Each structure stands twice: as C-alpha cells, then as structure tokens.
C-alpha cells in the first residue's frame, strides 16, 4: 500500500481520521492552548495523575468529540532537542496509535514548541525525512503467509500541516525531505521483505532473481555468476560454502555508474547466506529458524542500491552479493579442509559455521576486480557482536579511520547506531594457521574483531569498513520504528553515506 504525503494547508472538506500533535512536558505543565480548551483540560488532568507525562514513546489517544476536525486525536510525547532520532521515534509511536485507531488518513500538526529547536539544529529537510521514515517504518512488519491472507495496515495519506504561527523552514525543504524519507524508507522496507522470506523461497538463485528484477526496475547493469563461472574465476571459498546444498551458489554483481568524472567507486559487499545450518559444524536446533536472516547484509546492500538509484545520487557503486546456502550433506565442506580463495590466499576451515567470512572473502575480491576503490561490507557475521552490543548497535571494524569517521557520521544522521570494535594487531594472531595462509575461526575471545579482520585481510590495502549486523538485523520484539523480525538495518546509513558524498 502506498502512502501519499502532502505539506501545507489542509484542503477543505478533507478532514483526517486522526490529528497527531507532538507535545512536550513543558506544554503540559503550562496553560497555553495545545489542541482545544476541552481536550487540553482532559490531557492536563491525565498529566496531573501521572497517566501521561509527555515523555518519548508515550502516546495518548482521545476521541475528538467535534472539538477538532478529526475523529481521533493522537498526542505523542516529545523531548525538544532529541534530534532526528526523537522525531522519528515520536512519529513511530504516533503511527502505531493510528493503526490501533484504524486511522488511515492522518494530519501531523507542525508547531513551534516541539519542532523549533530540532529544525534549527538539523534543518527542515532532515526533520521531514525523519518524520516520514518513522511513520512508514513503524507500520511495516512481517506479513505471515496464511491461507486466508490479511492485508497489512498502512497509512493512505499523511498531511504535514504547520501551525499558523510556525516558521519552520520552506515548503520546498519539507517536500524534499519527505521525498527523501519516502524513498529511503522504501529501501528499508524492500530489505525487510527480502530478509523475511522463508528459506525454501529465497535460495541463492531466487536471490539473484530478485536482484535482476531490481536491476530491471532501475536500469542497472547486473552480472549473475553461476557455479560454473565461479569455478572458472576460482571462487573457491564461495563454492565450498555452497557445495553441501542442492541449491548452488551465486555471485551477484550490480553496477550503478552515473559519475563518469569520478575515479571513486564504492564497493558494497553484502553477505547473502540464504540459510545457515552451520554446515557440518551444525548449529543448535532452537532458534535456527531465524537463520533466514543470514542474508540481512545482502538485503541491506540491495535496499541501499534501490534507494540510491531512485534518488539518482551521482556516485559510482559496485554492489556484490556472494549468495550461498550452508547445508550439511555428503558433499559439504568440512573442518580441516583447505580452501583457495579467489584472491589466491588459502584458508584452513576450522569451523564450517564461520562461513560468512569465507563468502565475503571472494565477494571483496570480486568488488576489487571490478574497480572498487573503497569497500564497505555488511554481514550478520558473529554471535560475538551480540554478546558485546546486544541488539542495540551494529559493530564495526576498519583499516581506515577516515572512512570509519564518515560511516559514523552517516550513522548518526540516520539514527542507526554503530560502535567501532578494536582492530588490535594481536587479534590477527587468532587467524594464523599451520595449514594455510589463515584460518576462519577457532577463537573464543575477541571473536567479533577477529572475524572482521579476517574479511579485512582481503581488502588489498584499500580503505575498508566492516559492519557486523549480527545483533541488529533481526529482533525478537518490536522497538521504536523497527518491527519484530527483519529490521533492514544499515540501509539508511549506506544511503546517507553515499548521497552525502554525492
């Protein structure tokens, strides 16, 4: 379901189903008009009883009773100065309240009290983008595949209407921000839907099919390298991970080139393990069903490319998706095997459940051989990152602080937390092998850093950042604008990063 967004004065005769108003605790403590004398009286009575304090993520829904032109009034708590994250969070809370009220057409009142500081700090466009993302993303959750299908609730129309006294940027700034938020939100939604697909539907070949559809929609060049061509190109790591499955691997390469005068080509590499049993080093059965999310990095890269192409950002990108299914069988690769990667480096396999770094090794080389000058990989790489950061942030490892600072700045603007893990030389000792150039695991402590540094070994000295979304790509319960299940994390950071560069 698509949502129509408008900014400006409400059209006569088009009253919304719900009026949304952000309110601060200071407003609730004061006497100035918030909505209407009668509604304000009720709102402040609930504040006095401690039932609604106007704090972030608190929402109060009331029947409008004819006092305003809407069936329902939704008041969302907001703390001025909380930035675009605060705006996005308040919009998400309001969207969930609109869903509960079945209010498909909503009007968001833009007033000085809640918005002035953040619009001054971040700009009207950034505020509009954050609000749009919050409203869209909070309502997009996993759609179950049932015999009697149910339609997902979505907002059909959102009107941003500035209050009469408000002076919060130009109409053009708001419309540009809304457009940006809608497109970037669409990229996140695309990534969520792809990640939520069951493993019997999303095989490596099917993932390549989705990438081909994306390329067709946005006129992108695409290469899909099958198992035979991968063998010719000596992608030994990708082939080894996929050899245990009846569904053969694919190396998917998308080209987005619209800046011919720039020598910079961004290599975005997304781990595309469409299902991960652990292989011979079999995972525990409880929770294994969540391993449909092991291609969350691939989904993030594809979602970002989709948004970048729709925004027509003037950058050059080569997006690489090494896709495989890691299964145990009589053909599966084994602990003790020595693999020769596309780069020529050999790897001793000590754990077949550390397969993501193997496919990414060949993915990195593929991106470099197609001209990439800067590299960012996104992967559900380690459980160790969840031990360190829980579900709260994406971990990062880098060989280049300048690039890392750019990624951090983009993540701050997008509201997706990134925490840099140390890349001490001592962590590389865990990768030493007696049988090959390096090994793919075998360390208990510092495993998130060591796993990242394994991938960095294949960067060939180019600036590189690894983003481990092992804890942030899939949630066990909803929070803010992120649903239970796939989150589409890192789409917004990648888009922010590349569009800012453009």
Q: Which among 269, 275, 290, 270 has a CA at the least distance from the CA of 204?
A: 275
Chain position carrying tokens 């917004």: 492
3 state DSSP class of 150: coil
Question: φ and ψ at 380, to 5 degrees?
Answer: -80, 80
Q: Which among 270, 298, 295, 306 has a CA at the least distance from the CA of 187?
A: 306
Pull the structure tokens for residue 308. Answer: 């970048």
On whether 271 is known to bind a ligand per the annotation, the reply is: yes
**Catalytic residue at 312?**
no
The three-class DSSP label of residue 258 is coil
Whether residue 355 is annotated as binding a ligand: the answer is: yes
**DSSP code for 428:** G
Contact 490, 418 (CB under 8 A): no
How many helices (H) and strands (E) the chain has is answered by 15, 20
Q: Is 206 a catalytic residue?
A: no
276 is in an annotated binding site: yes
Cα(358)–Cα(339) distance, integer angstroms: 9
| Active-site residue identified among 96, 182, 250, 357 | 357
Q: Where are the beta strands (DSSP E) in 10-145?
A: 18-23, 59-63, 72-77, 105-110
321 close to 212: Cβ distance less than 8 angstroms: no
Q: Which of 44, 283, 340, 369 is catalytic?
A: 283
Give me the sign of the Cα torsion angle 403, 406, 408, 410. negative
Write the CB contacts of 183 (distance below 8 Å, at least 6 apart in sequence).
Answer: 307, 310, 311
Q: Which residues are annotated as a binding site?
A: 271, 276, 294, 353, 355
Q: Which residues are annotated as a binding site for Mn(2+)?
A: 271, 276, 294, 353, 355
For the annotated catalytic residues, the residue numbers are 283, 357
């Amino acid at each position: 379901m698509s949502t129509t967004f408008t900014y400006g004065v409400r059209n006569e005769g088009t009253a919304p189903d719900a009026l949304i108003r952000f309110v601060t605790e200071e407003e609730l403590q004061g006497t100035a008009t918030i909505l209407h004398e009668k509604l304000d009286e009720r709102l402040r009575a609930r504040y006095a009883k401690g039932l609604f304090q106007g704090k972030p993520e608190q929402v109060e829904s009331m029947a409008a009773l004819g006092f305003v032109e809407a069936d329902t009034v939704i008041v969302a708590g907001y703390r001025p100065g909380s930035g675009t994250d605060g705006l996005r969070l308040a919009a998400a809370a309001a969207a969930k309240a609109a869903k509960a009220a079945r209010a498909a057409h909503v009007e968001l009142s833009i007033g000085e009290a809640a918005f002035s500081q953040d619009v001054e700090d971040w700009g009207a466009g950034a505020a509009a983008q954050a609000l749009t993302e919050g409203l869209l993303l909070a309502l997009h959750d996993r759609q179950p595949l049932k015999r009697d299908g149910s339609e997902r609730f979505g907002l059909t129309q959102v009107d941003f209407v500035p209050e009469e006294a408000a002076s919060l940027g130009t109409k053009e700034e708001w419309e540009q921000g809304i457009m940006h938020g809608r497109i970037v939100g669409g990229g996140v939604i695309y990534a969520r839907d792809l990640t939520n697909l069951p493993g019997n539907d999303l095989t490596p070949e099917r993932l390549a099919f989705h990438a081909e559809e994306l390329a067709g929609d946005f006129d992108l060049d695409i290469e899909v390298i099958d198992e035979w061509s991968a063998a010719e190109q000596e992608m030994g790591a990708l082939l080894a991970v996929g050899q245990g499955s009846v569904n053969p691997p694919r190396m998917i390469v998308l080209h987005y080139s619209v800046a011919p005068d720039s020598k910079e080509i961004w290599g975005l590499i997304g781990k595309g393990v469409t299902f991960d049993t652990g292989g011979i080093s079999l995972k525990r059965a409880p929770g294994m069903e969540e391993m449909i999310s092991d291609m969350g990095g691939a989904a993030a890269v594809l979602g970002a490319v989709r948004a970048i192409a729709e925004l027509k950002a003037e950058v050059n990108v080569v997006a690489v998706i090494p896709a495989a299914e890691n299964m145990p069988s009589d053909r599966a690769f084994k602990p003790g095997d020595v693999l020769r990667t596309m780069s020529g480096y050999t790897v001793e396999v000590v754990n077949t459940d550390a397969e993501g770094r193997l496919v990414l090794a060949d993915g990195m080389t593929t991106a470099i051989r197609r001209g990439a000058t800067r590299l960012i990989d996104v992967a559900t790489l380690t459980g160790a990152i969840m031990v360190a950061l829980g579900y709260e942030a994406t971990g990062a490892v880098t060989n280049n602080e300048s690039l890392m600072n750019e990624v951090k700045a983009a993540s701050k603007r997008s509201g997706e937390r990134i925490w840099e893990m140390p890349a001490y030389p001592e962590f590389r000792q865990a990768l030493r092998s007696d049988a090959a150039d390096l090994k793919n695991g075998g360390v208990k402590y510092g495993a998130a850093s060591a796993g990242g540094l394994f991938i960095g070994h294949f960067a060939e000295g180019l600036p590189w950042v690894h983003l481990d979304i092992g804890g942030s790509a899939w949630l066990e319960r909803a929070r803010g604008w992120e649903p239970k299940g796939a989150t589409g994390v890192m789409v917004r950071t990648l888009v922010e990063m590349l569009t800012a560069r453009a």
